[in-house]
Amino acid sequence: MENVSSRCGNRDNAPRLRFPEFRGEWVEKKLGEIFKKNTEKNTELKITNVICNSAKNGLIPQREYFDKDIANSENINGYYIIQKYDFVYNPRKSTEAPYGPVSVYKYPDKGIVSPLYLCFRATEKINSDFYEFYFKSSSWHRYIYLSGDNGARHDRVSMRDDVFFAMPVNIPSLPEQKKIAAFFTLLDRRIQKQRQLVERLKTYKRGVSEAIFERKFGFPNKTNWKKIKIENLFSERCERAIGNEELLAVTINGGIQKRNEIQLKDNSSEDKSNYKRVHIGDIAYNTMRMWQGASGVSCYAGIVSPAYTVIVLKDKENQCIDFWGHYFKHTNLIRTFQKFSQGLTSDTWNLKYAQLSQINLYVPEYKEQCAIANFLHKFDSKISIEEKKLSQLSMLKNELLHRMFI
């Protein structure tokens, strides 16, 4: 990626960071001077290619996003027709797009979008990628915040079209637009490659784990795996909170984490006297999400919801707790957890200790448990390093979006 530099001089209408070959102020215009609203509707039902606007994925065919068509073919006559390089604003708020995503349509074939979206098309020569990145920045958020209608739904921006098109935007020359767009396109490609690397590592680890726990892959000095019932390996910890303990949460992807360090809605009650104590090295699991992998070995002492179950190894000298942390994420074992759970829908599966304890497992000897745990830990460490790089790249992009647009 090319170098950028802090802006020179005391220009008021120039970004804080820009490429050194560009000088001068950006031009302020109203959005309606650059774009016009697109109101062409699919009245003759000629187009069936329904497009959805996702904050993460932009404008993509509905069948790619949902793996099927969602829109009713009889009701798409009121949908707006869009073509390549049209922009679409989805006023639905999300974490990724707090004031709704604005995306450019990049497919050659025409599509149609929900009448809930606002569609607009350039009336002058622009670099469409520049404007897409502009709308990924926060430069326009203050205007939406100040101009939105009172009484709007909490999950959707409410704004008249004329107010939206009165939005002031600051724009550089076409050469600078092109340079900025090319820069962020390269950065996006780098982020995508990093994301793909993380996913490949996770996929590879899952494959290796399956081979290990299905006993298709062995370590040197492999031992015989003996059939043992879980009740002979673990007991349930039923201690209750005594006050001032750390509140913990059991997540599907992150295992056991401190509740105040993760972004989850806090559904805990004020009275935590009935909450269950967790010691370092215990395994806690979400009884209604165990079949999705919501379990982990705790690195913290604390308490968890009384809806969770806490189990403890009976023989810690001859059993490796980290091995069990990995084993409980094993796909076939998770399917077994589902079979033993009580309930008929995904929202009511419930695997209490009484059911868990009756499951039979094939278990290697202690040395092989430790070897497996150490081997899989190396994968986790590598994945963690690459996830951190991905997070840093995303943070870098957000910072550059903040500093290179006004």
User: Domain-by-domain residue ranges, the chain?
Assistant: 25-171, 174-221+368-406, 226-363
Domains 25-171 and 226-363 share a fold: yes
What's the topology of domain 174-221+368-406? Helix Hairpins (1.10.287)
Tell me the average pLDDT of the chain: 89
The pTM score is 0.83
235-238 contacts at long range (C-beta below 8 A, 24 or more positions apart) = 235/311, 235/312, 235/314, 236/309, 236/310, 236/311, 236/312, 236/353, 236/357, 237/276, 237/277, 237/278, 237/279, 237/282, 237/310, 237/311, 237/312, 238/276, 238/310
pLDDT computed for residue 133 by the predictor:
97
pLDDT computed for residue 10 by the predictor:
42
| Contact of 41 with 30, CB cutoff 8 Å | no
pLDDT value at 5 more than 60: no
Taking residues 226-245, report their average pLDDT: 94
Q: What is the CATH number of domain 25-171?
A: 3.90.220.20
CA distance 208 to 377: 12
pLDDT value at 352 more than 50: yes
| Contact of 234 with 314, CB cutoff 8 Å | yes
156-160, 177-181, 360-364, 390-394: least confidently modelled range: 156-160
Class of domain 226-363: alpha beta
| Contact of 137 with 181, CB cutoff 8 Å | no
Taking residues 8-37, report their average pLDDT: 88
52-61, 79-88, 321-330: least confidently modelled range: 52-61
pLDDT computed for residue 45 by the predictor:
87
Q: pLDDT tens digits, residue range 132-158?
A: 999 999 999 999 999 877 545 678 888
More confident site: 54 or 127: 127
Closest CA to 248 of 292, 299, 290: 299
| Contact of 355 with 340, CB cutoff 8 Å | yes
